Amino acid sequence: MGPHPAVAAIRLAVRRTLQDVLRDADALGRGPSGNDRPPLVLVACSGGADSMALASALAFEAPRLGLRAGGVTVDHGLQPGSDDRAREVVSRLEALSLAPAEAVTVTVGRAGGPEAAARTARYAALDEVAERHGAAAVLLGHTRDDQAETVLLGLARGSGTRSLSGMAAVSGSPTGRTGAGHRYRRPFLAVDRQTTRKACMVQSLPVWDDPHNADPSFTRSRVRHDALPALEKALGKGVVEALARTAQLSRDDADALDAWARDAERAVRADASDVANVTTGTGVALDVARLHALPSAVRRRVLRRVTVAAGSPAGSLFARHIEEIDRLITDWHGQRAINLPGRVAARRQGGTLVIRQV
């Protein structure tokens, strides 16, 4: 008799992810057949149902594929007794025979609001642990429900196709750490939260429900407990699945448009030799006529790419900034230079658009 269907589902999802990790490691000559130790895969575990289910599946599947498995929990220090909770999670990871298993304490700042600040601190800690242990990957327990919530949040921001594409199954570090291009893996993006909780229950795994997940002061909590149930009540069941499917379709579209924009950027670069002050610092000159001929979705991606390359922080560059630059191309009537985050300016000189730090 096989495992419970919920346990089988989480193990299959993790097995597929680990097979991808293994292929990547083999391509780099670091697989189990190489001279190095077997690759290490870490699970980021909060002690909640999603990450505990993930930890149990990793502990089961990794040895069968010749991989080492470890775990890490991050203590944000935002609740009384959080250090005790972190030690308890480490004990649970050790009970699953995960090694190394450790807790990392972080200091959460204020930049971007409490949710963004906690996320920044958490990923910085996970990056540090992964690099210290030479981990091939870090598994994250985001589920299909989390993906649906992310799509709704992106829709509320109104930032375009990329914001609707949700979380990627494979991603680099959001902190921009070098060498972390494929570090983070999300095996459960096609698994719902009910399945992970059921898998914990049938395996008698203790779980901890973070009170922040039910705190209405957090935007994601309101989406989870108010917005999504209201949508399902109004539209019927299947909203979560539809939003998750939208994320994948949007990601495919955004990836294609981004690839088009990379090629287009090379084609629209102007000859800067006759444009004053362009080559001073980090600047670029773009041919306005060629930009104008591009579809707007591609043109705006080109503008964002070159503006970030000129020194404007990606996290501070919003859709309204790109729209203002775009008007220098599509609605030109002698506007002054546009000041952008990171002391970057965009201005039009005749038939050339110049974007550079000032």
Residues placed in the known binding site for ATP: 46-51
Closest to 136 measured CA to CA, from 232, 52, 205, 36: 36
**What is the spatial distance between Cα 20 and Cα 67, in angstroms, rounded to a whole number?**
12
**What is the spatial distance between Cα 354 and Cα 192, in angstroms, rounded to a whole number?**
48
**What is the spatial distance between Cα 16 and Cα 69, in angstroms, rounded to a whole number?**
15
- Give the start-end residues of each E strand in the chain: 40-44, 68-75, 101-105, 137-139, 170-171, 184-185, 283-287, 338-340, 344-349, 352-357
**What is the spatial distance between Cα 71 and Cα 97, in angstroms, rounded to a whole number?**
10
Pairing outcome for strands 352-357 and 40-44 = unpaired
**What is the spatial distance between Cα 140 and Cα 71, in angstroms, rounded to a whole number?**
11
CB atoms near residue 298 (< 10 Å): 20
Please identify which residue in the block is written with the tokens 């989480």: 10
Rounded-to-10 torsion of CA 140, 146, 150, 151: 120
Instruction: Say if residues 181 and 267 touch (Cβ distance below 8 Å).
Output: no
**What is the spatial distance between Cα 173 and Cα 184, in angstroms, rounded to a whole number?**
7
Residue numbers in the known binding site are: 46-51
- What is the amino acid identity at position 281? G
**What is the spatial distance between Cα 181 and Cα 171, in angstroms, rounded to a whole number?**
6
